[in-house]
Amino acid sequence: MTFWIRINPQGCVEGSVYASYLDEDSTQGAHAEFVPERPTRLYEAAHGWRHERVDRAEWKRRAEPCLTGDCQHNRAAA
Ligand SMILES: [Zn+2]
């Protein structure tokens, strides 16, 4: 099982999608799935937003704490 995760400029994972769900299995394809508007994607790409392809083990380690609100990013912001 492979996922694409969406990472904000603070390094916190804000979303994930199955790689098999995408029309285009690429960084651009993943970004387009989260953000349909191209100008917004260009802005985000220039301002530290990232999209990475991860396997299930890495998803559990990196994405799950963020998506459940139990990560160091959320604690730092609190
Ligand atoms: Zn986080």
User: Could you write out the three-class secondary structure of 3-53?
Assistant: EEEEECCCCCEEEEEEHHHCCCCCHHHHHHHHCCCHHHHHHHHHCCCEEEE
Separation of 67 CA from ligand 1 center, angstroms? 7
What's this model's pTM, rounded to 2 decimal places?
0.91
Domain boundaries defined on the chain: 2-77
Separation of 13 CA from ligand 1 center, angstroms? 5
Residue-wise pLDDT tens digits, 9-68: 999 999 999 999 999 999 999 999 999 999 999 999 999 999 999 999 999 999 999 999
List phi, psi (to 5°) of 12.
-95, 135
Separation of 9 CA from ligand 1 center, angstroms? 11
Separation of 19 CA from ligand 1 center, angstroms? 21
